[in-house]
Chains A and B, each alone.
Chain A
Amino acid sequence: MNGIPKENAGDIERLVEASQAGDRGSFDGLVALYQRRAMQVAVRMLGDADEAAEAVQNGFVKAYLSISRLREPKRFESWFFRIIANTAISQRRAGKNRTEKIKIAGDCENKKAFSPEDREAGKELKEAIQHAMLKLSKKQAQAIALFGIKDLPQDEVAEIMGCSAKAVRWHVFKARQKLKVLLKDYLE
């Protein structure tokens, strides 16, 4: 998963507690640990890397400003992903800050590895997914985005979304049904 370091829960808890005590360096450590997974969630919900980067930045700022109110540091992960998912949802609805966002994607070496045809096809797929995700309800978009994150167990997704695991599966099912219709041109 994009080379995310596997930290043990104790280390994360210590970083969270230090951040709650006002240690900025510890929060920077959390940023380094979670920025990739946060981007994964946001990209799945928004379809575009630059949009996702905007949501992730805003999400980290929200988390930074409210981390002192987190009662159980061991629940940081679900708390944090809830912030990211909600921020992405708000951004998806408002479509704001489109002009202010910083170009995060587009000039990386990996991107150049794709042929022009691949890039064109990728752009088309991106736009189709963006359009399709906008047609999903908030819960469906959150469920399909979080469900696809490999090392995020279903019960944690349920905790992030504030519903039961059964309800999460239902939202995923409904989301897939809608996406099947909306993305039919891309399905074999």
Chain B
Amino acid sequence: MKKEKEQIDLLLRQNESEQLAGVNWNRLQTSISKRLNQADRDKTSMMSYRRVFKIAAGIATAAAVVFIAVMIKTDMLTTARFENGPKVIGTFVASQGSAKVKILDSNEQTNQGKDQPTWIIIRTSEPQVVDNGQSRDENDFACLM
């Protein structure tokens, strides 16, 4: 067993000697030096990338903060505006006294999710059916006009 152990070690050592005998040490050292130079360059460029990334991240964060602040402020203004109710430009009351037509300022409604540039809300209650000879439809028509 001891002999075999020695023989194995001898084989490994023999191969090691043969392989190392062919090594050009100066070339290896030059090659290592080149790799280290490359590592230095990579490290420097990585550091500059990190710096650029940090600046970009800072700008993006600042922009996000400003955006959120503006959104919150806009939302508060809108809420305040609607708290006062939509602005009524004009009111027409039909002669029958049972319906109202309001023309609203469209600028006051932009945050209600409506697409129409201007719109009219017709709020009408059940027309009073009076015994004056007019039909209910005629009464509604009068309201719309």
**Which of A's residues lie within 8 Å of B, judged by CB?**
2, 24, 27-28, 31-32, 35-36, 39-40, 43-44, 47-49, 52-53, 56-58, 60-61, 64-65, 102, 104-108, 110-111, 113-114, 122, 125-126, 129, 144, 148, 176, 179-180, 183, 186-188
Query: Do residues A31 and B29 form an inter-chain contact, with CB atoms below 8 A?
Result: yes
Cβ contacts under 8 Å, A110 to chain B: 21-22
Of A2, A47, A60, A188, most B-chain CB atoms within 10 Å: A60
- Among candidates A65, A105, A148, A179, residue contacting B19 with C-beta atoms closer than 8 Å: A105
What separation, in Å, do the CA atoms of A43 and B20 have in the docked complex?
Answer: 8
Cβ contacts under 8 Å, B74 to chain A: none
What separation, in Å, do the CA atoms of A128 and B94 have in the docked complex?
Answer: 109
A106 to chain B minimum Cβ distance, whole angstroms, is 5
Cβ contacts under 8 Å, B43 to chain A: 65
Query: Do residues A183 and B11 form an inter-chain contact, with CB atoms below 8 A?
Result: yes
Cβ contacts under 8 Å, B15 to chain A: 43, 47, 122, 125-126, 129
What separation, in Å, do the CA atoms of A40 and B27 have in the docked complex?
Answer: 16
Known: A43-B15, A57-B32. 16 other contacts (CB 8 A): A2-B20, A43-B16, A49-B19, A53-B28, A102-B31, A105-B23, A105-B24, A108-B22, A108-B23, A110-B22, A113-B21, A148-B13, A179-B8, A183-B8, A186-B11, A188-B7
B141 close to chain A: CB less than 8 A: no
B71 close to chain A: CB less than 8 A: no
B4 close to chain A: CB less than 8 A: yes
Q: List 15 A-B contacts (CB under 8 A).
A: A43-B19, A43-B20, A56-B32, A65-B43, A102-B27, A104-B28, A105-B23, A106-B22, A125-B14, A125-B15, A129-B12, A144-B12, A148-B16, A176-B8, A187-B8
- Among candidates A31, A40, A125, A183, residue contacting B32 with C-beta atoms closer than 8 Å: A31
Cβ contacts under 8 Å, B4 to chain A: 176, 180, 187
Cβ contacts under 8 Å, B18 to chain A: 114, 122, 125-126
B111 close to chain A: CB less than 8 A: no
Q: A44-B12, A47-B15 are in contact. Are A64 and B39 (CB under 8 A)?
A: yes
What separation, in Å, do the CA atoms of A2 and B22 have in the docked complex?
Answer: 12
